[in-house]
Structures are given as structure tokens and as C-alpha cells.
Amino acid sequence: MNARTTFLAILSIAALTAHAIGAEPEPALAADRVGFPTNYRTKYKVLRLVDRSKEGKVVTVYGNEIAASVVSTNQLPYPNDSVIVMETTLLTKGADGKPVPDGKGGWTRGAVSGMHVMRRAKGFGEAYGKNRSGDWEFAEYKPDGSYITPPAKSAACAQCHIKAGAEKDFVYQARLGAPAK
């Protein structure tokens, strides 16, 4: 069982337990206002790369032009219409089971396993209630555009992004430098 499967299993158990004891379900979105990020690899800028080769993957964070315009913390919050895509790509492995180097200091990437997408707009996030993390809404997609996490179940994403904090506009480890003086 990988970390994502374990995480999803824990979320499912928590949801079933809450249902069994009569707890209120987490507030959810009724519709997808995030949108599948068509052509993000060519239209968006790479904000950062995360080497998770020990887990057999590489994570690339992309931002649309609006999100990529934010380069220091004193520019926060992100402007409305910012879109951030966290793409997880599986690494190509050799016969020895180890990741194959790409000859440029990185790894040869294989298939995209998922895209975790967040979009910021005025009034977004209200449906998350106590889990609201600013004006962001979330969805997770498979490469074919189908959902990993549909909007109706994205409260877990919002709840997690609360931990990033309002001072970072609820975005984890962006490429932001120190405030300009």
C-alpha cells in the first residue's frame, strides 16, 4: 500500500466513522469550478520541482500566468483567477528496479498519475465552511480528465491547505522569496 492509498483509506475510515456516529458530513462543493487544466504543461510555468525518487515519482508544480506572477510573500494573496497544478509523475525504472537518469541530472519520467489543482476566485471556498482555506477551491484529476477527488469530496483538500496558513495564502511551499524591501 503506497502513501496515497493509505491516506485515502484513512479518509474513508474517518468518513464512515463520522457517518456511523451521526456526525455532520464535511461541507462540500456542489459543482466543479476548478476545471481540468488542459495543456497546462505548455501554457503554465513551472514553479518548482520536487524529487521524490525514493517514492518512485517526481512532483512538478505549475502555475498559470497569474499565479506565476507572484514571486515574493509581499505580493500575497494570490490574485483571483490564479491556478496552481501539482502534477505527480511516475518515474521510469530500469531492469534493476531503480529510476532511470535522464542525462540532465534528473530522472526519466513515465506516466502522469494525477493532477492536484487549486483555483482562486472571489467567493471561492465558501462552501467548505469551517474548512475554508481562503478563496481557493480544489479538485484532483486523472490525466484523462476524470476525477481522483471530485468537488463534492474536496473538503479534505481545503482542510489540509488550512495547515499551510493564511500568511502563505494557504499554498504550500511556493517558490516565493522573502518580502521585497
Q: What is the pLDDT of residues 125-176, one digit of tens each?
A: 999 999 999 999 999 999 999 999 999 999 999 999 999 999 999 998 766 6
Rg over alpha carbons for the chain, rounded to the nearest Å, is 17
User: In this model, does residue 112 exceed pLDDT 90?
Assistant: yes
User: Who has greater pLDDT, 5 or 30?
Assistant: 30
Q: What pLDDT score does 21 carry? A: 46
Strands 57-63 and 45-52 turn out to be antiparallel
Considering only CA atoms, which of 3, 88, 85 is closest in space to residue 51? 88
Contact 144, 164 (CB under 8 A): no
User: In this model, does residue 37 exceed pLDDT 90?
Assistant: yes
Superfamily of domain 28-168 in CATH is: Cytochrome P460 (3.50.70.20)
Average pLDDT over the chain reads 86
Q: What pLDDT score does 73 carry? A: 87
A 10 A CB-CB count for 109 gives 17
Place of cell 456516529: 21
DSSP label at 53?
G
